[in-house]
Structure 1
Amino acid sequence: MISSQNVLSHELIGLDILVSGASNPHHRGLSGTIIDETKNLLAVETSHGVKRIPKMHSTFQVLLPSRELVEIDGSVMVLAPERRINLHEKKRIT
């Protein structure tokens, strides 16, 4: 089950997100649903279309299925999703 302790070892696509901080002022306050993830970007479906938000220099609030709100510094997510998931899973096992 996805929780605040293991959110980085799970798939983020489909979760609701708010950009709580960003170096680009136009990205701050954007909210929507994550529809894609690359090494450096999150694609978010907003009410104004799809926005691509750089992970680096951004802070996100993610709403988990349990309705728990988790804040994540985007710099810790700057990896390809499959590598991020495997990396955090290995840390959890050891």
Structure 2
Amino acid sequence: MEISTYNLIFHELIGLFTEVIKSTNPSIENIRGKVVGETKNMLIVETYDQCEKMVQKAGSTFLFHISTLRGNTRVTEQVKVNGNLLLSQPENRIKNIRKIRMR
């Protein structure tokens, strides 16, 4: 299934460009870069200067940039996500989309 604005929270986040637009921890606000790793509670973001930053999911708001294909045109969309919706192990979060579809 292709990633979209509707299924982003159930999808693999590694490889997506993101930025932290709001956080309870002010030192991680405005971190932006490519997601290179993910745990239950953290995203690992590689910034432009090749540093890896650990960003907590809880209490943070992320802006993800996703590229989708509409007809023959590739469109980049921005999706604002509350990090609390991402709190789970990545493999379990990805499995949840199947459960929602079966209902």
Q: TM-score range by the shorter chain?
A: over 0.9
* Alpha-carbon shift at residue 89 of structure 1 (Å): 3.0
Q: Are the counterparts in 2 of residues 9 and 89 from structure 1 also a CA contact under 8 Å?
A: no
Percent identity among equivalent residues?
A: 37
Tell me the equivalent position of 1:87.
96
Supply the distance in 2 between the matched residues of 1:78 and 1:14 (Cα, whole angstroms): 18
Q: Higher strand fraction: Structure 1 or Structure 2?
A: 2
Amino acid at match of 2:86: M
Supply the distance in 2 between the matched residues of 1:65 and 1:93 (Cα, whole angstroms): 27
Q: TM-score, normalised by structure 1?
A: 0.94
* Alpha-carbon shift at residue 93 of structure 1 (Å): 3.3
Supply the distance in 2 between the matched residues of 1:88 and 1:77 (Cα, whole angstroms): 13
Supply the distance in 1 between the matched residues of 2:101 and 2:81 (Cα, whole angstroms): 18
Q: Are the counterparts in 2 of residues 40 and 55 from structure 1 also a CA contact under 8 Å?
A: yes
Q: Which runs of 5+ in 2 are unaligned?
A: 69-75
Larger radius of gyration: 2
* Alpha-carbon shift at residue 19 of structure 1 (Å): 0.2
* Alpha-carbon shift at residue 26 of structure 1 (Å): 1.2
Supply the distance in 2 between the matched residues of 1:92 and 1:8 (Cα, whole angstroms): 14
Q: Deviations over 1:19-78 (max 9, x none)?
A: 011111111111000000000000000124000000000000000122110000000110
Structure 1 segments, 4+ long, off by >6 Å, are none
Q: Are the counterparts in 2 of residues 8 and 88 from structure 1 also a CA contact under 8 Å?
A: no
Tell me the equivalent position of 1:14.
15
- RMSD (CA atoms): 1.0
Aligned length: 94
Q: Are the counterparts in 2 of residues 22 and 57 from structure 1 also a CA contact under 8 Å?
A: yes
- Change beyond 3 A, Cα 1:20–1:92: farther
